[in-house]
A and B are shown apart, each in its own frame.
Chain A
């Protein structure tokens, strides 16, 4: 799964720490999602969607082989 989390975070001018705090996770979790090491739950994706004001599809995308 590809993601645009880093870009969306930059648009809102948030650090990983600030974004983490806003959605109630640790900075490490944000970092691991951005690095594609961890796929978040639907609940977390929807929290991000609410914060970015965009639908989940706009910042999470399936890889071609998925």
Chain B
């Protein structure tokens, strides 16, 4: 009995978290954030900082701003948020994750082969991406198992 209550609590928590969305107006906020961040990255604003460390920090903040802007657009509600939109959202997440994993898994090898055809000292690029992709997929598998268990508990 106690276990069931825990699982019900789990599913409620997961529902709350997975169903989290921002209001529709965040689409515009996100777009503005992306534009400002891109301008900050491509412009020479960072050169106002004298030391290299501050320049790096500024650029990193701008890049994070761009990611957060994209996230805002991604998780903010449509004007009418109904079941068709939920389905489309789920399909698009699915497609995005699968293509991102496949592309990021293949690109280092394509890059390697491409460089190898010009030079003999080719190095394999990318290392952080494997950690991110593993984390993303691990999280998905974990949540999937947890949800499946929670939904089916008698």
Question: Which residues does A use to contact B, with CB under 8 Å?
Answer: 20, 24-26, 28-29, 32, 38, 40-41, 44
A26 and B87 contacting across the interface, CB-CB below 8 Å: no
Query: Taking the nearest CB of chain B, how far is it from the CB of A56, in angstroms?
Result: 16
> Which chain A residues lie closer than 8 Å to B78 at the CB level?
26
B78, B80, B82, B83: which has the most chain A beta carbons within 10 Å?
B82
Total number of B residues with any Cβ neighbor in A under 8 Å: 8
A41 and B83 contacting across the interface, CB-CB below 8 Å: yes
Interface membership of B103, Cβ < 8 A:
no
CB contact list, B78-107 vs A, under 8 A: 78-80, 82-85, 87
In the complex, the chain A residue whose C-beta lies closest to that of B83 is A41
A40 and B83 contacting across the interface, CB-CB below 8 Å: yes
Given B79, B80, B87, which contacts A38 in the complex, CB threshold below 8 Å?
B87
Question: Which residues does B use to contact A, with CB under 8 Å?
Answer: 78-80, 82-85, 87
> Which chain A residues lie closer than 8 Å to B87 at the CB level?
38
Query: Taking the nearest CB of chain B, how far is it from the CB of A22, in angstroms?
Result: 13
Query: Taking the nearest CB of chain A, how far is it from the CB of B88, in angstroms?
Result: 9
B84 and A24 contacting across the interface, CB-CB below 8 Å: no
19 A-B contact pairs sorted by A residue (CB < 8 Å): A20-B80, A24-B82, A25-B80, A25-B83, A25-B84, A26-B78, A26-B79, A26-B80, A26-B82, A26-B84, A29-B80, A29-B82, A29-B83, A29-B85, A32-B84, A38-B84, A38-B87, A40-B83, A44-B83
> Which chain A residues lie closer than 8 Å to B85 at the CB level?
26, 29
Given A25-B84, A29-B84, 13 more A-B residue pairs with CB atoms under 8 Å apart are A20-B80, A24-B80, A25-B82, A25-B83, A26-B78, A26-B80, A26-B84, A28-B84, A29-B82, A29-B85, A38-B84, A40-B83, A41-B83
The CA of A25 and the CA of B85, in the complex, are separated in Å by 10
> Which chain A residues lie closer than 8 Å to B83 at the CB level?
25, 29, 40-41, 44
> Which chain A residues lie closer than 8 Å to B80 at the CB level?
20, 24-26, 29
> Which chain B residues lie closer than 8 Å to A44 at the CB level?
83
The CA of A38 and the CA of B87, in the complex, are separated in Å by 9
